[in-house]
Every structure is written in C-alpha cells, then in structure tokens.
C-alpha cells in the first residue's frame, strides 16, 4: 500500500489561494508521492479579524446564469457549482500554481495493492458552520446516498457508479471499495454534505436546499440568502481551516445582459466581469482603474451535430435532419468552416484555432490530427465531397438532398452570446456557397429543444477540467436517456462503441502516460466521426477594478483565469483595495464582481446515470 504523507496547512498570513474545480495534468493515483501533495503555496489571504470584519467590505459577483439548484446532488450549472465549491469541501483540491492534487477535506490517501480499496484520512480541523464536527461519516453518507438513490446521483453519479461500498470505520478514516480500478480517485469532485442535516431529506429530486438559511457547510463561505434570478449571498466561514476570506460578504447578483454588467464595471458598481467580447476588452483596457485579464482558456468552442437523438432502449426521437447521419455531409460542412478566419474576425485573436477536443492548456492530453488527416478549410473539397456522395445542385444552385428537396439545416444559437451570432453569419455565407441553407435559431435557453433532440446543429462549448474524464463521458452510450421520456447526461446523443471501449480503458488506467495516450485516441475517434467540430479555444477574457480588488489568484497563477476555476481560490483569495468604496448604493463597501457568463458548466462528470437531468448547451461549464 502506497501511503501519502500528510501535509499540514501553510501559514495563513500573507497567503493567497488556489482555484476552483479540477486540477491540470494527469490524475495522481496509487503512485502519489509526498512531494506531489505539497500544500497549496503560501498565497492565501491572511485570516480575517477575530470578529470576522475587515472594514465592512462586500464582493458582489454579477452573474448572467440562473442558479439551477442549491442542492449539491442536483446542481449542474457553472454558477451553482461554483457556489458549492465555496460552501462545501471536496476530498481533494487543486494547487493554483499547477493544478496538481492537494489535500482538501482529506489530508492523505492510499490505495491497496490491487487498487480496489482507497483509504482517506479526514482532517481534524474541519467543522460545519453550525459548530458540529465534520467527519468521515459525513463523506461516507454522501457517497453512499449517491450510490443508493438515483436522484442523489443526478449531478455527480459518475464518480460513484463504480463504488462497491463506502465506510467510515472511525471519524477520521474513510474507506472506499471499488468494483474495478478507477482513475479518478484523487479527483472526486463531489461536495461533502453534513449527514445530520441531509439525512432528513425525503425526495432528493425535489429538494433544492433553498428554503432555510444559513445553509450548513464547511467551505470558506456560508450561503446566507437566495432569491431566484436576483442574487445569492454568502458570508465568510470564520472557522474555515485554511483561513477565512478577506471580504465580509460575497454576493452573486443576476444580470441577464452582459453589456449591463460591463457598464456597471465602468461605473464602479461591478468590480469583475468575465467572458468579455474582444470589443469590450479593447475598450476597457484604456480606462483608469480597470485591468483586463487575457489568458489561455480552459474551454473549447464547437459546432455539434445531432447524430439522431435516441434513448438507450433504442427509441428514436426529435426532429434532427437525417442528412447529418451521412458522414459525407458532416465532412463537407466542416471542410467549409474557416477556423482561422473565426479566430481572427470573431475572436479578434483572443483564441487559438480549434483541433482536438481537449484545449492545448492541458498539454498531456492535448491532441491534434496529423497534417494528412486535418480537415482544413477547403471549399472545393467540400463541394466535391457532397457531389461525389450524390448531393447535386439544381438550376437555382441549391444543393439537393437524397429526397430531392433543397438541403437546409437549423442551428441552435444562444441569444446572449454574440460569438454564436457572428459565427452563424459566416456559416451561412460559407455553406451558402455550397448550396446548403442554414436557419439560425437564437434562444435565451436552448435546453428544451436540445433535450428533445429538436435541432440539426448547435453551438456547443465546455470548460475542460484538468482531468478529462467528464467531458469524455458525455459522449458515451451510457449517458443516453434510458427511454425517450427520460433525460440523460449525454451532450448531443453520440453513441459510438469504439469510443466507449477506449473510455472504459482510460477509466481504469493509472499510468499517466498510458492514460493520456488513450485519451488522445478517444479524441482521434471523435474527430473521425465528425459529430463535433471544435472551432476554437477561446481565451479567458475578463476584467476587474483595481480600485476595488487589490489582488486575487488566477489559475494557473502565472497566466490563468479568474472565473470558473477548479477550486475556491479566486474569491477566497480576493483582497479589498485600500479605501475601496461601496458598490452601487448603500453603505457596504468593497468589490462587486461581474459575471456575464453565457457559458455553462456541469460540475463533475456523470456516466451511467439513467434519470439525470440534462443541462442544455447554455448550461455548459
């Protein structure tokens, strides 16, 4: 049995934190070393004053994404899961410098020789915000409930699908027995909840955890209030083992319009805005007391095709255009997409041309096709591909489908995302030259038609976690809905047995190099099927007011993002600027953080779930 040396928390004074979500690089497993679990760099903020006050500062985050649920068992959207990262501890966390796995609720862990039994030592200095001790029993109850109640497995059931038994032989020891090896055992991104509170819940599918405040947690913040599509409020957890945050209150305020959030930033009502357009960023760069952060992102921006929506029982549903079931049609459409132009004209250079499924930021997993296989922009080849496949043009120049009618598609577009609208105009032009029509359907929420399979193509995008298991799992057959009446965890109904076989292999492979190679083969297969066209890897383009925020931590620290991290680091580390004034009207001072998030997040992955609620493309991470 390989043991991991326990690492004590670093001194609090002068420290800065790490990030949100999962760490970069391959997962650590049975071969973990003590060095690899070095404590988070001493960059956390100094502990708050004993009374929890530091001048009455308030940090307000303006979000444009609704909270889907405050239940960690149900929440899938980015804003919701980011809040849960702040309110609950996970077994492990990720170093803000390089995203390697570091202690969280667990201080050390080990695997048996056969890698089927994992033992975690739970820290002694973690307490629930109601004063009760947080123990291994809370973790065992959380995981066991997910294993035995399908509704409790809605958000993160893929992590426990392979669990055979979870026990807590004593308050500081958690033991997880697996059915087969599992490569994600040091990246179980599941919020641990207090058993003494949650064991009273009857129906996990209906309990949204939004009726009684403050909500009991053991993370750096405590949720104190919530109003749907208005705000969610949190205060520092003064007993948090790593040290209390510096601000006296954290508020996530709902903004539907991104321009409104930017205007609020300019007025000093908002201190931070992510997901800026290039034009917004350029304008903000010239303004006093505003800093623009432009760093390599963790997202990909893609064009997804409907491969024929169907359930695991074989029932087909939805009204996707059957012409897209023809590989020649998908190939031709993708050959007629000029990625370089999109990066230059739409993203104005604040992105990298898309190739494989995993962004280049995650070096060990990054894959791109060799030159001979790359589907570079080639309109002539696209035209020939369609003609050779029997799709000829009529006298009006319209491409005819096999049914003799003009070939035309619909594409789902996020009404709140200017990138979608801009790219759609280019697609209409490029595909129009092929004689293919394109109708753009921009909606505030694309979830409903997406879930029903009522689309031909859609703009898709995900934030990739340091471990790629989740974003790969959403294309496996097991994530299709059980029946046509159910909803699954699938992204866009892809079911490919070769891809599934590779996924199963990487899921049990502990050797980092071998696992990375399997992940690359999965991307290669996904590329060949032509169901996903990754067009770009957008930069993290965001801005904040330096007269309100003195400092905070990006992830990676050298050149990373602020919003949507793999931990709680950005807001936990945020330090108020000296003499910062109040945000908006009222007496409270401090930071207002703007989030014009049009992208969605699904926290954690999920694999073999039958009745999981599916988040639409507007709910991506």
Q: What is the pLDDT of residues 168-217, one digit of tens each?
A: 999 999 999 999 999 999 999 999 999 999 999 999 999 999 999 999 99
The structure tokens listed for 395 are: 């006298």
Looking at residue 20, its pLDDT comes to 28
pLDDT at 621 over 80: no
Lowest-confidence range among 36-50, 78-92, 93-107? Answer: 36-50
Q: How far apart, in Å, are the Cα atoms of 507 and each of 285, 425, 489, 534?
A: 44, 40, 17, 23
The whole-number average pLDDT for the span 129-137 is 97
pLDDT at 592 over 80: no
Can you give the pTM of this predicted structure? 0.79
Q: Are 478 and 610 in contact (CB under 8 A)?
A: no
The whole-number average pLDDT for the span 479-487 is 89
The whole-number average pLDDT for the span 423-442 is 98
The contacts of residue 435 (CB under 8 Å, 6+ apart) are 393, 397, 398, 399, 406, 407
Lowest-confidence range among 63-77, 210-224, 423-437? Answer: 63-77
pLDDT at 568 over 60: yes
Looking at residue 486, its pLDDT comes to 86
What share of the chain in percent tops pLDDT 70? 84
pLDDT tens-digit series, residues 91-113: 999 999 988 999 999 999 999 99
Looking at residue 377, its pLDDT comes to 97
The arrangement of strands across the sheet holding 272-273 comes to 221-227, 231-236, 249-254, 58-63, 592-595, 272-273, 540-545, 290-295
pLDDT at 33 over 80: no
- Give the chain's length: 621
CA–CA dist 6, 41 (Å, integer):
15
Residue the block writes with tokens 């009204």? 319
Rg of the chain (C-alpha set): 24
Looking at residue 87, its pLDDT comes to 98
Q: Which of the four pLDDT bands, split at 50, 70 and 90, describes residue 63?
A: confident
Q: Are 489 and 609 in contact (CB under 8 A)?
A: yes
Helix (H, G, I), strand (E, B) or coil at 503: helix
Q: Which of the four pLDDT bands, split at 50, 70 and 90, describes residue 56?
A: confident
CA–CA dist 580, 55 (Å, integer):
10
Looking at residue 327, its pLDDT comes to 97
Region class of 219: left (phi > 0), else alpha (psi between -120 and 50), else beta = beta
The whole-number average pLDDT for the span 418-444 is 96
What share of the chain in percent tops pLDDT 90? 69
Q: How far apart, in Å, are the Cα atoms of 255 and each of 166, 267, 495, 561?
A: 41, 15, 37, 21
Q: Which of the four pLDDT bands, split at 50, 70 and 90, describes residue 609?
A: very low
The chain-wide mean pLDDT, for the chain, equals 85
pLDDT at 5 over 90: no
pLDDT at 616 over 60: no
């Amino acid at each position: 049995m390989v043991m991991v040396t326990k690492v004590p928390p670093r001194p609090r004074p002068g420290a800065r934190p790490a990030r949100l979500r999962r760490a970069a690089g391959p997962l650590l497993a049975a071969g973990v070393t003590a060095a690899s679990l070095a404590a988070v760099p001493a960059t956390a903020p100094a502990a708050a004053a004993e009374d929890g006050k530091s001048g009455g500062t308030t940090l307000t985050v303006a979000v444009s994404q609704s909270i889907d649920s405050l239940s960690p068992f149900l929440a899938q959207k980015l804003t919701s899961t980011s809040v849960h990262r702040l309110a609950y501890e996970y077994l492990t966390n990720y170093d803000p410098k390089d995203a390697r796995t570091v202690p969280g609720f667990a201080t050390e862990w080990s695997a048996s020789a056969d890698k089927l039994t994992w033992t975690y030592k739970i820290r002694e200095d973690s307490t629930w915000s109601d004063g009760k001790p947080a123990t291994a029993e809370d973790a065992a109850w959380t995981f066991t409930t997910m294993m035995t109640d399908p509704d409790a497995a809605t958000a993160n059931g893929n992590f426990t699908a392979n669990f055979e038994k979870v026990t807590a032989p004593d308050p500081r020891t958690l033991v997880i027995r697996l059915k087969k090896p599992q490569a994600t055992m040091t990246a179980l991104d599941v919020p641990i909840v207090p058993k003494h509170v949650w064991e009273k819940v009857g129906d996990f599918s209906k309990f949204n955890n939004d009726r009684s405040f403050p909500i009991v947690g053991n993370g750096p913040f405590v949720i104190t209030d919530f109003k749907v599509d208005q705000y969610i409020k949190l205060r520092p957890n003064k007993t948090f083992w790593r040290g209390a945050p510096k601000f006296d209150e954290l508020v996530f305020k709902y903004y539907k319009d991104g321009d409104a959030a930017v205007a609020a930033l300019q007025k000093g009502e908002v201190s931070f805005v992510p997901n800026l357009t290039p034009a917004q960023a350029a304008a903000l760069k010239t303004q006093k007391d505003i800093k623009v952060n432009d760093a390599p992102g963790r997202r990909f921006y893609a064009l997804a095709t409907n491969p024929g929506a169907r359930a695991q029982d074989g029932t087909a549903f939805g009204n996707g255009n059957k012409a897209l079931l023809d590989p020649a049609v998908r190939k031709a459409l993708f050959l007629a997409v000029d990625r370089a132009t999109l990066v230059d004209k739409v993203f104005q250079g604040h992105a990298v041309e898309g190739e494989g499924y995993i962004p280049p930021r995650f070096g060990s997993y990054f894959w791109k096709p060799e030159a001979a296989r790359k589907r570079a922009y080639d309109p002539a080849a696209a035209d020939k591909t369609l003609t050779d496949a029997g799709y000829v043009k009529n006298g009006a120049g319209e491409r005819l489908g096999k049914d003799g009618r003009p070939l035309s598609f619909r594409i789902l577009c996020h009404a709140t995302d200017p990138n979608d609208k801009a790219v759609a105009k280019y697609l209409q032009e490029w595909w129009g030259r092929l004689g293919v029509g394109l109708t753009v359907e921009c909606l505030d929420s694309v979830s409903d038609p997406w879930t029903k399979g009522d689309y031909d193509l859609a703009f898709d995008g995900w934030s990739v976690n340091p471990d790629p298991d989740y974003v790969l799992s959403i294309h496996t057959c097991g994530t299709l809905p059980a029946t046509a009446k159910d909803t699954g965890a699938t992204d866009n109904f892809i079911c490919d047995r070769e891809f599934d076989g590779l996924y199963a292999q990487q899921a049990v492979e502990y050797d980092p190099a071998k696992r990375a190679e399997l992940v690359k083969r999965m991307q290669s297969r996904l590329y060949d099927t032509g169901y996903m066209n990754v067009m770009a890897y957008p930069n993290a383009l965001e801005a904040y007011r330096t007269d309100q925020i003195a400092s905070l931590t990006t992830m990676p620290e050298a050149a990373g993002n602020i919003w949507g991290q793999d931990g709680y680091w950005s807001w936990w580390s945020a330090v108020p600027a000296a003499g910062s004034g109040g945000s908006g009207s009222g007496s409270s001072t401090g930071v207002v953080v703007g989030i014009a998030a049009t992208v969605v997040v699904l926290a954690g992955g999920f694999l073999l779930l039958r009745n999981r609620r599916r988040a639409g493309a507007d709910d991506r991470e």
